[in-house]
Amino acid sequence: MTGGGTGIGRAVAAALVKQGLDVVITGRREDMLVAAAAEIGARAVVFDAADPAQVHAAAAELPERVDVLVNNAGGNVARRRPAPEGLADVRELWLANFEANVLTAVLVTTALQPRLADDARVVTIGSIAARRGSGSYGAAKAAIEAWTADLAFALGGRGITVNVVSPGVTEETEFFGGTLSEDRRRKLVGNPANGRTGTPADVAAVVIFLTSPEAGHVTGQVIGVNGGAGLGR
């Protein structure tokens, strides 16, 4: 699983370990990744999933047979950068969000595709932003949905399912970098049916279902985990 060191990724990895899987978590920050792996009982492989050369080099350390692949690397690059001041900055920001959120999933999945077992499960973490906007980040997450639909048909003949889990506002993660004010929180959360934000555990529970044998007829789908803030109809 990519991006497995913190937040949603760590919660999903820990839940998969509890299911009895031999879990490998990947990411760029070695100290954090290794510590997380030790704490949850996984194995850490450090590389940048957006770098083709690093993905290729890391392949030797990744499992020869993959039953479950979860693509979680990514985030809104715009939150860590000043507002663009010209067209060159706009271009760089859009490319950076595409690289962080789309290419990480595409490169790792493509590299591991020959290793996917029959009836394997591929899940990519999307975002409610794909349907609500949020500039280059939302556009990147929307691209993930289109890619997932295509991949589901490419791999479906082998019983492999490919889905997106799309969280709404999820706290207890690094996504907002400690910058989420109460006013901004209220605006982002909107009016969920259950009156709260999400947690990494909420997302992990849905991933666990989608990676189970019982989910073999669920593929090409976008599953929202947002408390009703984004209605799936």
Q: Return the amino acid letter for 231.
A: L
Residues 6+ apart with CB under 8 A from 119: 67, 158, 159, 160, 213, 216
pLDDT averaged per 10 residues in sequence order, the chain, 233 residues = 92 96 96 95 97 97 97 86 88 95 98 98 94 90 97 98 92 59 63 79 96 97 88 66
The pLDDT assigned to 207 comes to 98
The pLDDT assigned to 187 comes to 62
CB 165 within 8 A of CB 218: no
The pLDDT assigned to 194 comes to 76
The pLDDT assigned to 51 comes to 97
Separation of CA 133 from chain center: 18
Q: Return the amino acid letter for 186.
A: R
What kind of fold does domain 66-225 have according to CATH?
Rossmann fold (3.40.50)
Residues 6+ apart with CB under 8 A from 170: 7, 8, 197, 198, 199, 200, 202, 203, 225
Pair of tokens at residue 173: 């993660």
Active-site positions?
137
Q: Name the CA dihedral angle for 203, 207, 208, 213, rounded to a multiple of 10 degrees.
A: 160
pTM above 0.95, yes or no: no
**Domain locations in the chain as residue ranges:** 66-225
Instruction: List the strands of the sheet with 66-71, edge to edge.
Output: 66-71, 116-125, 161-167, 222-225
Sign of the dihedral through C-alpha 99, 100, 106, 112: positive
